[in-house]
């Protein structure tokens, strides 16, 4: 046999050393399941992801992030043992020492500054089991009321609005499979084409079946390409658009009077408010045409079936709660909810953005969407946890307010699990300064993120391929993710880390879990009888496919469509919201003449800790690009593709321009997936919505200054200043 053939044969043999891992993507809320094949070629490993055709949500699709998700897991930058900062340098230490050190520091803080001086900061990437355990860990083991999580920045406005309007917050009221039969769809402030790409075909099918699609967004996006009508709204003015649409529905007789009288309360007040609305004024303020608002309302009003969706574009405002409530008025006024192909959806963001907001990592919450201020709820959870009700802390404060307390030195130690707050909080310069004041910072992560870099101690955690647990996807469907890879180095699971610290603090019995399933079984009990009732869901039942909550007993099939018969308020009725005309907190001024809005691009995920470490994704988008209309750019002497300084009242950052005619002339857009001087959150406004404490990520006023001008250069009239040929933030 020739050398070549020998080599070929060996390669074939080696190639057959394949391992197939059944898993699901760690990124967005669709949670696409897939098979990841590990192929060993001699000493090299090669990976290939293949979507799972049986997946009821993704229907066998996967986007570029899912296809490359494994890359960050295998990345050589993974931390594989605890790292302690000694004289500014991180040194590897054994777990025993790490746990001992944490316990010593936490006890010291508790003694010096009180129990509430310990802050806990969680995330929506954690499994249900771990999110649940983090709530218990904070309240039982650390005895602190100060816990909140990054979902505050994500879902809080829609969650608060859903709770107030319907008595319950589940992202989608119906399963995605009903979308193709909707005759009208409104997509407000959601860019599914980049953010949940695998659900786009549901909308395409609807369009093919004759649906009229309206997109409301200040930019043309991949999503607005689906639209029959695009309202290119001025950032921060959604409530005005929704009010104007309600007026059209009312004046033109599209309201569903029977539904309003039988299934809702509060329309009376709204009816009074409608009379005083001036369509032209609302259209002028929101920067869209009266005819377009009228068309959007008519199409929604006359359609037999329909959905209205919102996402962060509507919600991440200092009046995000009100924006959502005004859109919900449209759903209730037309009775488009609680029926086949009729409903509302707040499109959840993070992998476990839904489950992560149900089981107690929120400041005011106990498992099963119970309230920490409700005496009955406290008693029940105290009994499940085997503690005295009086010992359970009361409600704490929201995520950004935790940081403010750190700044005031009321919180002096912090435990961060599953978030990178230095990059993802608004007003990031302040956040970084505040965190420097901590006496003790522990970060549990897979990487030395921008936040972990500031920690005294970093604890290495497992990735999605290694960590078993349940996730609740954007539909409210609970799915089980298996662990398919052995833990690298000394890595431990989040639940093990919490259990070990809690045990060393003296709570062995309450934290004596041996598996994620153990924790899930306790969660089932803790959620039993609550709004988000998981009692009937077991690991065994999840082996087949997901189950929608609420699922109160083991024979219950789960609830894919909610509000069929009643809403979740005690009287079974939904509630309208009086009309409001919220104003922008920062209108453009001479000093800060442009409106900045922020969001996502397809290639990266959130603070970028994971996707910037995936070579395949990172090479497609290596730096943030600022979307700016060419006419606006010329006015401010910004060349296409050049770096410049973006400034607001909070601070400044450096970013490269990318001309785009797809954006309003008064608005610029930047993604937030980068840290340090490239972090857009150095300029964003931390003003909080009073109802839900959501920060104003989606609009603030800014100025832009070319860097070259500062060096004495000038705007280049001769340069090719046509719309950018570079890959645009899509």
Ligand X SMILES: Nc1nc2c(c(=O)[nH]1)N[C@H]1C(S)=C(S)[C@@H](COP(=O)(O)OP(=O)(O)OC[C@H]3O[C@@H](n4cnc5c(=O)[nH]c(N)nc54)[C@H](O)[C@@H]3O)O[C@H]1N2
Please name every residue paired with 537 in a beta bridge, in sequence order, or none if there are none.
none
Residue number of the CB atom closest to ligand SF4: 66
Are 26 and 16 in contact by the 8 Å Cβ rule? The answer is no
- Tell me: does residue 697 bind ligand X (CB under 6 A): yes
The footprint of ligand SF4 on residues 24-43 (CB under 6 A) is 25, 27-28, 30-32
Ranges assigned E (strand) in 540-624: 547-548, 574-575, 594-599
Residue 579 tokens read as 């009309």
Count, residues near Mo ion per rule CB under 5 A: 2
Are 626 and 658 in contact by the 8 Å Cβ rule? The answer is yes
For residue 551, the minimal CB distance to ligand SF4 (Å) is: 23
Count, residues near ligand SF4 per rule CB under 6 A: 14
Burial category of 634 from C-beta neighbours within 10 Å (exposed 0-12, middle 13-18, buried 19 and up)? middle
Residue closer to Mo ion (CB basis): 451 or 504: 451
> Which range touches Mo ion (CB under 5 A), out of 149-157, 180-188, 453-461, 590-598?
149-157
Q: Which of 52, 128, 150, 198 binds ligand SF4 (CB under 6 A)?
A: 198
Q: Which of 154, 288, 479, 617 binds ligand X (CB under 6 A)?
A: 154
Q: Find all residues with CB under 8 Å of 318, minimum gap 6, and list them.
A: 582, 585, 685, 687, 688, 689, 694, 695, 696
Q: Which of 144, 681, 685, 701 binds ligand X (CB under 6 A)?
A: 681
Q: Which of 128, 169, 144 is nearest to 522 (CA)?
A: 128
Residue closer to ligand X (CB basis): 377 or 698: 698
For residue 238, the minimal CB distance to ligand X (Å) is: 5
Q: How far apart are CA 439 and CA 459, in angstroms?
A: 17
- Tell me: does residue 23 bind ligand SF4 (CB under 6 A): no
- Tell me: does residue 294 bind ligand X (CB under 6 A): no
- Tell me: does residue 349 bind Mo ion (CB under 5 A): yes
Are 245 and 297 in contact by the 8 Å Cβ rule? The answer is yes
Q: In what order do the strands lie in the sheet with 147-149?
A: 89-92, 83-86, 457-460, 440-445, 413-417, 118-122, 147-149
- Tell me: does residue 610 bind ligand X (CB under 6 A): yes
Map residues 102-141 to x or -, x wherever contact with Mo ion holds by CB under 5 A: ----------------------------------------
- Tell me: does residue 28 bind ligand X (CB under 6 A): yes
- Tell me: does residue 449 bind ligand X (CB under 6 A): yes
For residue 386, the minimal CB distance to ligand X (Å) is: 26
For residue 26, the minimal CB distance to ligand X (Å) is: 6
Are 618 and 585 in contact by the 8 Å Cβ rule? The answer is no
> Which range touches ligand X (CB under 6 A), out of 91-99, 217-225, 272-280, 538-546?
217-225
The footprint of ligand SF4 on residues 123-182 (CB under 6 A) is none
C-alpha dihedral, 244 to 247 to 251 to 254, nearest 10°: 100
- Tell me: does residue 499 bind ligand X (CB under 6 A): no
Q: Which of 191, 305, 398, 678 binds ligand X (CB under 6 A)?
A: 191
For residue 349, the minimal CB distance to Mo ion (Å) is: 3
- Tell me: does residue 322 bind ligand X (CB under 6 A): no
Residue 111 CB neighbour total at 10 angstroms: 10
Q: Find all residues with CB under 8 Å of 429, minimum gap 6, and list them.
A: 650, 651, 682
- Tell me: does residue 154 bind Mo ion (CB under 5 A): yes
3-state percent helix, strand, coil for the chain, nearest multiple of 5: 35, 20, 45
Q: Which of 82, 135, 189, 197 binds ligand SF4 (CB under 6 A)?
A: 197
Residue closer to ligand X (CB basis): 52 or 461: 461
Residue closer to ligand X (CB basis): 188 or 625: 188
- Tell me: does residue 195 bind Mo ion (CB under 5 A): no
Q: Which of 49, 184, 606, 702 binds ligand X (CB under 6 A)?
A: 606
Residue closer to Mo ion (CB basis): 57 or 214: 57
Q: How far apart are CA 532 and CA 476, in angstroms?
A: 10
For residue 172, the partner it binds in Mo ion, ligand SF4, ligand X, none, with Cβ less than 5 to 8 A by kind, is none
The footprint of ligand X on residues 652-671 (CB under 6 A) is 669
Residue 251 tokens read as 């004046």
For residue 238, the partner it binds in Mo ion, ligand SF4, ligand X, none, with Cβ less than 5 to 8 A by kind, is ligand X
Burial category of 332 from C-beta neighbours within 10 Å (exposed 0-12, middle 13-18, buried 19 and up)? buried
- Tell me: does residue 65 bind ligand SF4 (CB under 6 A): yes
Q: How far apart are CA 693 and CA 321, in angstroms?
A: 9
Q: How far apart are CA 355 and CA 371, in angstroms?
A: 16
- Tell me: does residue 178 bind ligand X (CB under 6 A): no
- Tell me: does residue 63 bind ligand SF4 (CB under 6 A): yes
For residue 602, the minimal CB distance to ligand SF4 (Å) is: 9
For residue 172, the minimal CB distance to ligand SF4 (Å) is: 15
- Using the CB atoms, write b or e for 568-578: b if 16+ within 10 Å: bbeeebbbbbe
Q: Which of 527, 520, 518, 517 is nearest to 552 (CA)?
A: 527
- Tell me: does residue 607 bind ligand X (CB under 6 A): yes
- Tell me: does residue 196 bind ligand SF4 (CB under 6 A): yes
For residue 162, the partner it binds in ligand SF4, ligand X, Mo ion, none, with Cβ less than 5 to 8 A by kind, is none
Peptide bond into 65 cis (omega under 30): no
Are 185 and 307 in contact by the 8 Å Cβ rule? The answer is yes
What contacts 24+ positions apart, CB below 8 Å, involve 252-261?
252/297, 252/298, 252/301, 254/297, 254/298, 254/300, 254/301, 254/302, 254/333, 254/334, 255/301, 255/333, 255/334, 256/333, 256/334, 256/335, 258/335, 259/332, 259/334, 259/335, 260/332, 260/333, 260/335
Helical (H) or strand (E) element with 102: helix 95-113
For residue 150, the minimal CB distance to ligand X (Å) is: 3
Q: How far apart are CA 419 and CA 425, in angstroms?
A: 10
Q: Which of 82, 367, 393, 418 binds ligand X (CB under 6 A)?
A: 418
- Tell me: does residue 147 bind ligand X (CB under 6 A): no
DSSP 282-326: HHHHHTS-HHHHHHHHHHHHH-SSEEEEE-HHHHSSTTHHHHHHH
Q: Which of 25, 83, 120, 126 binds ligand X (CB under 6 A)?
A: 126
- Tell me: does residue 236 bind Mo ion (CB under 5 A): no
Q: How far apart are CA 187 and CA 340, in angstroms?
A: 18
> Which range touches Mo ion (CB under 5 A), out of 174-182, 298-306, 349-357, 574-582?
349-357
Q: Which of 144, 412, 424, 648 binds ligand X (CB under 6 A)?
A: 424
Are 447 and 145 in contact by the 8 Å Cβ rule? The answer is no
- Tell me: does residue 346 bind ligand X (CB under 6 A): no
Map residues 350-369 to x or -, x wherever contact with ligand X holds by CB under 6 A: x--x----------------
- Tell me: does residue 66 bind ligand SF4 (CB under 6 A): yes
Mode of pairing for the β-strands spanning 118-122 and 147-149: parallel
Main-chain phi, psi angles of 556, to 5 degrees: -70, 135
For residue 32, the minimal CB distance to ligand SF4 (Å) is: 3
Q: How far apart are CA 398 and CA 693, in angstroms?
A: 6
- Tell me: does residue 218 bind ligand X (CB under 6 A): yes
For residue 608, the minimal CB distance to ligand SF4 (Å) is: 14
Residue 525 CB neighbour total at 10 angstroms: 17
Residues found near ligand X in the complex (CB under 6 A): 28, 123-126, 150, 153-154, 188-191, 194-196, 216-219, 221, 233, 235-236, 238, 311-314, 316, 349-350, 353, 417-420, 423-424, 444-447, 449, 461, 494, 597-600, 602, 604-607, 609-610, 669, 672, 680-681, 684, 697-699
**Chain residues that interact with Mo ion, rule: CB under 5 A:** 154, 349
Footprint of ligand SF4 (CB under 6 A): 25, 27-28, 30-32, 58, 62-63, 65-66, 196-198
């Amino acid at each position: 046999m020739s050398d070549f053939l020998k080599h070929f044969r060996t390669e074939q043999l080696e190639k057959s050393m394949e391992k197939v891992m059944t898993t699901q993507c760690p990124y967005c809320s669709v949670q696409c399941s897939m098979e990841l094949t590990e192929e060993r070629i001699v000493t090299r490993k090669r990976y290939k992801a293949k979507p799972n055709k049986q997946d009821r949500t993704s229907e066998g699709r996967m986007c570029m992030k899912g296809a490359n998700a494994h890359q960050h897991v295998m990345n050589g930058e993974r931390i594989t043992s605890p790292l302690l900062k000694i004289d500014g340098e991180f040194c590897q230490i054994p777990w025993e020492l790490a746990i001992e050190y944490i316990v010593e520091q936490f006890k010291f803080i508790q003694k010096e500054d009180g129990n509430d001086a310990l802050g806990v900061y969680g995330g929506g990437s954690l499994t249900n089991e771990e999110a649940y355990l983090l709530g218990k860990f904070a309240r039982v083991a650390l005895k602190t009321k100060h816990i909140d999580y990054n979902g505050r920045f994500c879902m809080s406005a829609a969650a608060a609005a859903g709770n107030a309007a319907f008595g319950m917050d589940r992202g989608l009221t119906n399963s995605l499979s009903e979308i193709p039969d909707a005759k009208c769809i409104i997509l407000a402030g959601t860019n599914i084409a980049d953010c949940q790409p695998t659900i786009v075909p549901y909308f395409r099918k609807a369009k093919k079946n004759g649906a009229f699609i309206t997109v409301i967004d200040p930019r043309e996006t991949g999503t607005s390409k689906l639209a029959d009508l695009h309202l290119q709204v001025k950032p921060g003015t959604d409530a005005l658009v929704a009010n104007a649409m309600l007026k059209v529905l009312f004046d033109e007789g599209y309201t569903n009077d029977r539904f309003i009288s039988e299934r809702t309360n509060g329309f009376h007040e709204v009816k009074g408010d409608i009379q005083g609305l001036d369509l032209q004024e609302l259209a002028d303020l929101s920067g869209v045409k009266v005819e377009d608002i009228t068309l959007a309302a008519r199409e929604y009003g006359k359609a037999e079936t329909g959905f209205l969706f919102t996402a962060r574009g509507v919600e991440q405002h200092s009046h995000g709660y009100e924006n959502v409530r005004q859109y919900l008025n449209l759903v209730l006024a037309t009775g488009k909810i609680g029926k086949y192909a009729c409903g509302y959806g707040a499109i959840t963001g993070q992998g476990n953005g839904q489950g992560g907001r149900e089981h107690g990592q929120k400041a005011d919450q106990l498992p099963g969407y119970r309230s920490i201020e409700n005496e009955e709820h406290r008693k029940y959870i105290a009994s499940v946890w085997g503690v005295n009700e009086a010992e359970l802390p009361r409600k704490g404060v929201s995520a950004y307010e935790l940081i403010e307390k750190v700044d005031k030195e009321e919180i002096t130690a912090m435990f961060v699990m599953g978030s990178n707050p230095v990059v993802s909080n608004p007003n990031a310069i302040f956040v970084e300064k505040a965190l420097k004041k901590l006496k003790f910072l522990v970060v549990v992560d897979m990487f030395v993120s921008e936040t972990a870099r500031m920690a005294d101690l970093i604890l290495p955690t497992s990735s999605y391929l290694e960590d078993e647990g349940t996730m609740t996807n954007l539909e409210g469907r609970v799915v089980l993710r298996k662990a398919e890879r052995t833990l690298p180095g000394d890595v431990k699971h989040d639940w093990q880390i919490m259990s070990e610290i809690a045990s060393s603090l003296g709570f062995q019995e309450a934290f004596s879990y041996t598996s994620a399933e153990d924790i899930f079984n306790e969660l089932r009990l803790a959620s039993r009888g609550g709004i988000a009732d998981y009692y009937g869901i077991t690991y065994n039942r999840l082996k087949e496919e997901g189950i929608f909550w609420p699922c109160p007993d083991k024979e219950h099939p789960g609830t894919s469509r909610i509000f069929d018969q009643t809403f979740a308020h005690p009287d079974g009725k939904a509630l309208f919201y009086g009309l409001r005309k919220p104003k922008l907190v920062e209108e453009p001024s001479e000093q800060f003449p442009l409106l900045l809005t922020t969001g996502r691009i397809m290639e990266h995920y959130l603070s970028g800790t994971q996707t910037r470490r995936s070579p395949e994704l990172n090479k497609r988008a290596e730096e943030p690009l600022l979307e700016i209309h060419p006419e606006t750019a010329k006015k401010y002497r910004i060349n296409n593709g050049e770096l410049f300084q973006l400034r607001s009242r909070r601070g400044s950052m450096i970013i490269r321009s990318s001309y785009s005619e797809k954006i309003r002339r008064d608005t610029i857009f930047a993604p937030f997936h980068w840290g340090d001087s490239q972090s857009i959150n150095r300029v964003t406004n931390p003003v909080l919505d009073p109802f839900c404490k959501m920060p104003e990520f989606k609009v603030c006023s800014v100025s832009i200054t070319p860097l070259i001008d500062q060096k004495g250069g000038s705007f280049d009239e001769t340069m090719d200043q046509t719309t950018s040929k570079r890959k645009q933030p899509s």
